Amino acid sequence: MLRRYVEDFGAGGINPTPNPKIIREMPAAATLDSDGGHGLVIGPLAMNMAIERAKIYGIGTITANNGRHFGAAAYHAAMAIDHGMIGVSMTTGGMQVLPVDGSKPMFGLNPISVAVPTNSEAPFIFDASMSSVAGNKIALAKRLGVDVAAGWISDADGVPILKEGPVPDKYFMLPTGGSRENGAHKGASMGMWVEIMCGLLGATGAGPNREGGASHHFIAYNVEAFTDLENFKNDMDIYMNAVKNTPPIPGKERVVYAGLPEHEEEIERRKNGIPYHPEVIDWFRGITGELGISWRLTND
């Protein structure tokens, strides 16, 4: 996404110096005008607002309208973990997803993230769009000319493509589940829920009636408002440990839960660095030079 961000900043599509403002609020909740700011600027601000309210009221929730691309939903949700809280974040993604049996997109990719603290086990951090798969995976497959899996996309008429094959010139995204038989009505309903929680609570409309930029929603649950925090985190450890020690099916080595592979990868990359394709490094070198930014990615 960084290349797109650079283009959008250059074209004036993202405000590099936003002045976000509260436009409506009650003690535990508020609506924020993002002033065209990027999600990685507005998201932490809004999540901290939710956390501060949750410290007092047990729960804090913020909608943010007039926004731009969210960045990583899990980053915002996981901010709550260090405060002994459960974090939730979501946003209205690109309007590309069909409702079940529909031929016109009615909701966006609409990622949701939930982050839950633990003590010794990796925290539970779920982050997924409500489409069958992330939209950029389809764009990448089309660019590379490789097949995509059954149930990821529809044809130009909205009919689900239920066998592996190439990406057609015109297609739509299917909701999580792909087809009704595989539970697409569940993914579609969750996608619509995000439209409601972000767009309608943010007073910017939902689905094809959206106005303005992206809308986001953030929630922080103070665990201490519901139960003892240490007991909760210990119980989370017990549960997460039980999940990862579930006997795997034949042919699989282990069972994982949301957040565990990412936790392990973070440890590996903090120790040994982040691998990048040489083409990406070349792009970084070029764009940092063009923008006058000091080179910090490698030692050479």
Residue 38: closest CA among 113, 88, 91, 107: 91
Same domain flag for 293 and 214: no
Tell me if 252 is assigned to some domain. no
User: From CA 195, how far away is CA 214, in angstroms rounded?
Assistant: 10
Residue 116: closest CA among 256, 260, 244: 260
Residue 187: closest CA among 126, 112, 132: 132
Pairing state of beta strands 112-116 and 124-128? Answer: antiparallel
Same domain flag for 79 and 186: yes
- Do the Cβ atoms of 98 and 106 come closer than 8 Å? yes
Q: Which helix (H) or strand (E) holds 22?
A: strand 21-26
Residue 141 in tokens: 């497959």
User: From CA 130, how far away is CA 151, in angstroms rounded?
Assistant: 13
Domain CATH code at residue 104: 3.30.1370.60
Same domain flag for 275 and 221: no
- DSSP-assigned letter for residue 248: P
User: From CA 46, how far away is CA 104, in angstroms rounded?
Assistant: 32
Tell me if 2 is assigned to some domain. no
Residue 177: which residues within 8 A CB-CB, separation 6 or more?
132, 151, 183, 184, 185, 186, 187, 188
Same domain flag for 86 and 42: yes
How many residues are there in the chain? 300
Same domain flag for 213 and 270: no
User: From CA 247, how far away is CA 244, in angstroms rounded?
Assistant: 8
Measure the CA angle with vertex 32, ends 115 and 74; round to 5°.
20
Tell me if 279 is assigned to some domain. yes
Measure the CA angle with vertex 242, ends 240 and 245; round to 5°.
110
For the chain, how many structural domains are there in total? 2
Q: Which domain holds residue 187?
A: 14-131+181-231
Which three-class secondary structure state does DSSP give residue 217?
strand
This prediction has a pTM of: 0.93
Same domain flag for 90 and 200: yes
- Do the Cβ atoms of 35 and 46 come closer than 8 Å? no
Same domain flag for 216 and 269: no
> What does the pLDDT profile of the chain (300 residues) look like in tens digits?
888 899 999 999 999 999 999 999 999 999 999 999 999 999 999 999 999 999 999 999 999 999 999 999 999 999 999 999 999 999 999 999 999 999 999 999 999 999 999 999 999 999 999 999 988 899 889 988 999 999 999 999 999 999 999 999 999 999 999 999 999 999 999 999 999 999 999 999 999 999 999 999 999 999 999 999 999 999 999 999 999 999 999 999 999 999 999 999 999 999 999 998 889 899 999 999 999 999 887 766
From residue 297, alpha-carbon distances to 66, 281, 288 in Å are 33, 8, 10
- Do the Cβ atoms of 257 and 121 come closer than 8 Å? no
The DSSP result for 73-137, as a single string, is HHHHHHTTGGGTEEEEEEE---S-BPPTT-SS--B----EEEEE--SSSPPEEEEE-SBSS-HHH
Same domain flag for 226 and 289: no
Which three-class secondary structure state does DSSP give residue 24?
strand
Pairing state of beta strands 214-222 and 59-67? Answer: antiparallel
Residue 17: closest CA among 34, 30, 31: 34
pLDDT at 299: 66
pLDDT at 287: 93
Tell me if 186 is assigned to some domain. yes
Same domain flag for 199 and 276: no
